[in-house]
Amino acid sequence: MSRIQQVFARAQAENRAAFVAYVCAGDPDFATSVEICRALLANGVDILELGVPFSDPLADGLTNQLAAQRALEGGMTAARVFELVRRIREFSQAPIVFYTYYNLVFANGVDAYVRAAKAAGVDGILTLDLPPEEAGEVTKACATHGVETVFIIAPTTPNARIEIIAAATTGFLYYVSREGVTGVRDQVAANIPEAIARVRARTKLPMVVGFGIGTRAQVAEVAANADGVVVGSALVNCVRDHLANRAQIVPAIAARAADLSAGVKRISK
């Protein structure tokens, strides 16, 4: 099994959801970003979702937009994102998934980009603005180089299209729990159990749920039904909130990850 498959198999055996954490690569600077990733993986994170900083992150809310801006202003480049992955691989073999936009993949040459990602130690790629109907070059390159694909399903996705999306996916499906952009919300979307059941009737792929999840209670609520729970903005906010004293960023994000990850264990009925 791949590293991603191993995570979901282990989580299922332990009667819990996998904990997927999003942070922007290079936010607020390269050295701190390495230590953030180390802290996350030491505090319950199963899969690390690395946002590749982009100047026009159309699927992201203000929190993650500003994180990308900080990373770019700090000198983050495509080459340095690969270097960050290599640094993480020095201390962890946990799955790493790129959360990126197609222009970043296309501009560097699709096959060359995927090959470089694999060589650095990336396990999967989620290309936010690339529909599966137009992803042939990416899925081919991923199959060639052994990188798993991740695609998004939205609340508005019709049943027939779920099957198309699932057919292009080899890693896991990412269910966006609400319409709109990323960001912490006061409440989890009410229809998640029904949405998960609708998708599971059409595929056996693992299904993670993200967008708007930011507390341990919300993680627990989603973990009751999903194979994995994604938290992003709530962690990125730990960076934002401690920019004036960067020495506090890593301890803050470690504590937040430990608290959130405690919510993934399911209560036996």
Q: Quick: pLDDT tens for 118-134.
A: 999 999 999 999 999 99
4-8, 74-78, 136-140, 169-173: lowest mean pLDDT where? 74-78
Report pLDDT for 189.
Answer: 65
Q: Which of 201, 233, 239, 224 has its CA nearest to residue 64?
A: 233
Q: What is the mean pLDDT of residues 136-159?
A: 96
Which residues contact residue 246 at a Cβ distance below 8 angstroms, ignoring those fewer than 6 apart?
Answer: 28, 29, 32
Q: What is the mean pLDDT of residues 148-172?
A: 96
Report pLDDT for 62.
Answer: 84
pLDDT at position 154 over 50: yes
Query: What percent of the chain is modeled with pLDDT above 70?
Result: 94
pLDDT at position 257 over 90: yes
Report pLDDT for 186.
Answer: 53
Give 101's strand partners: none
Average pLDDT, rounded, for the chain? 93
Query: What percent of the chain is modeled with pLDDT above 90?
Result: 86
On the 0-12 / 13-18 / 19+ scale of CB atoms within 10 A, 195 is buried
Q: Catalytic: which of 27, 60, 123, 227?
A: 60
pLDDT band for position 196 (cuts 50, 70, 90): very high
Q: What is the mean pLDDT of residues 165-169?
A: 98
Measured distance between the N- and C-terminal CA atoms of the chain, rounded to whole angstroms: 30
Query: How far apart are the C-alpha atoms of 127 and 107, rounded to whole Å?
Result: 13
pLDDT band for position 211 (cuts 50, 70, 90): confident
Q: What is the mean pLDDT of residues 98-114?
A: 96
User: Is 227 a known active-site residue?
Assistant: no
pLDDT band for position 252 (cuts 50, 70, 90): very high
Q: Catalytic: which of 27, 29, 35, 49?
A: 49
pLDDT at position 27 over 70: yes
CA angle 96, 258, 260 (to 5 degrees): 85
Q: What is the mean pLDDT of residues 147-165?
A: 95
User: Is 35 a known active-site residue?
Assistant: no
Report pLDDT for 58.
Answer: 75
Report pLDDT for 183.
Answer: 44
Superfamily of domain 3-9+16-261: Aldolase class I (3.20.20.70)
89 in helix, strand or coil? coil
Query: How far apart are the C-alpha atoms of 263 and 269, rounded to whole Å?
Result: 16
pLDDT at position 238 over 90: yes
Report pLDDT for 10.
Answer: 98
pLDDT at position 152 over 50: yes
Under 8 Å between Cβ of 128 and 101? yes
